[in-house]
């Protein structure tokens, strides 16, 4: 199943020079992981506090892109510079779930002034967490960590970032927001099923 995740090798290649600089400065993989989580929490709080301000929604695509970059960087530092650890694995998975919840639940107040309801957003967050939970379960049954689409972490970031950008630049809100977010939630649930099925067959 095609996913934005498929672009990761090219993205990593662009980031590799920066990774080398960070390592020479003594930056660790776990520090980068924590930085991504803190940035997500801070952005979520800012979106709650600035609810109703269109321009504040520009924070979301910017921070989502930054988070994807930091997630790629921490993995590269860990794998390519001998910093893999059990603590790092835990921080990575917990950080993803916490960051998703912080950024996407903030959409409840942030998009409410533009006609969005809370239930599709909450459903989307629950479905997103399920995708990551089932992805990790693949490891426990010997199938490896699953990253199958169509609505993995990078896909969620791209979709939500685009929605936020459109509202920020003045596109009228309305019922379409609920429909789109509900569709994203269904795609995330589909992703959960895909990951579970692939983990079971070991493919």
Residue pair 148/1 in contact (Cβ under 8 Å)? The answer is yes
Preceding omega of 28 cis (within 30 degrees of 0): no
Residues 104-120 pLDDT 10s: 999 999 999 999 999 99
Alpha helices (H) along 25-49 = 29-49
pTM flag (> 0.95):
no
CATH number of 4-201: 1.20.120.1760
φ, ψ (nearest 5 deg) of residue 150: -95, 0
Q: How wide is the angle at C-alpha 70 spanned by C-alphas 5 and 7, nearest 5°? A: 20
Residues 143-179 pLDDT 10s: 788 988 899 999 999 999 999 999 999 999 999 999 9
- Give me the residue spans of the domains in the chain: 4-201
């Amino acid at each position: 199943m095609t996913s934005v995740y498929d672009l990761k090798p090219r993205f990593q290649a662009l980031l590799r020079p920066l990774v080398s600089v960070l390592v020479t400065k003594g930056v660790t993989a776990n520090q980068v992981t924590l930085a991504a989580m803190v940035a997500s929490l801070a952005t979520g709080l800012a979106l709650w506090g600035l609810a109703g301000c269109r321009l504040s929604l520009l924070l979301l695509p910017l921070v989502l892109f930054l988070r994807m970059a930091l997630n790629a960087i921490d993995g590269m530092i860990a794998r390519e510079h001998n910093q893999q650890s059990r603590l790092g694995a835990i921080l990575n998975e917990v950080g993803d779930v916490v960051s998703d919840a912080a950024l996407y639940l903030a959409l409840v107040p942030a998009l409410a002034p533009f006609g969005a309801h809370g239930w599709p957003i909450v459903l989307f967050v629950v479905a997103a967490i399920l995708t990551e939970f089932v992805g990790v379960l693949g490891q426990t049954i010997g199938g490896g960590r699953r990253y199958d689409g169509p609505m993995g972490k990078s896909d969620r970031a791209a979709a939500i970032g685009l929605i936020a950008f459109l509202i920020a630049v003045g596109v009228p809100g309305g019922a379409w927001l609920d429909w789109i977010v509900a569709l994203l939630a269904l795609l995330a649930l589909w992703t959960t099923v895909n990951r579970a099925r692939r983990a079971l067959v070991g493919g």
